[in-house]
Amino acid sequence: MTQKQGWLPDAGRIARVLAGALAGALLFTVLRVPAGTVVGSVVGSALVNRWRPAAFDHRLPVRALRTVGMVLLGCVAGARLDAETLRILAGLALPLLGGVALLLLLEMLLAALLIVRHGVDPVTAVLAFAPGGLSEISLTAQDMGARMSLVLAVHMARVLAVVLLVLPLLVAWAGAS
């Protein structure tokens, strides 16, 4: 039995997963699902990949795509920061730090529960409940060797709950006020 060399033999598989992500993103965007691009791309690629795990052994194309993705995320975030935003943040420093401290405490309690009750390794447990965006946390989890399936499942549940349940309720409540 010969072992495949390079990433080219997986090019068709990579293309299928990317096509599933694009189809899901387009569908969820057309359906006007909040955060449809991100949620749809995850759902679409997962559906296409359902019968075959996505663990690619070849790091080169995956690392290059991740690097480009992180640069684009950083560019978008940096382009939205201006002096006014930084001034507002400075005025909110104390409540913001308090909120972050409470959120991190809750994260550590939930991570401890995963570790003690379900035998999850500490890195995976902490990253599963870490506050942050799905893309940033999943990239960090991969870099740190965490169980990607668990980290992604917890974050997708959080994103879906917030986007599909909490935000519509908050918007309705704010509109009624």
pLDDT in tens, 57-71: 445 456 677 778 778
**pLDDT digits 0-9 by tens, 132-170:** 877 778 878 888 999 988 998 898 888 888 888 888 888
One domain for residues 31 and 64: no
Structural domain for 65, as ranges: 58-91
Flag whether 6 is in a domain. no
First vs last C-alpha separation in the chain: 68
One domain for residues 110 and 176: yes
- Give mean pLDDT, residues 98-113: 95
One domain for residues 70 and 99: no
One domain for residues 102 and 38: no
In the chain, how many domains are there?
3
CB atoms within 10 A of CB 138: 20
pTM for the model: 0.66
One domain for residues 66 and 104: no
Please state, in angstroms and rounded to a whole number, the distance separating the CA atoms of residues 131 and 129. 6
22: burial class by Cβ within 10 Å (0-12, 13-18, 19+)? middle
One domain for residues 39 and 114: no
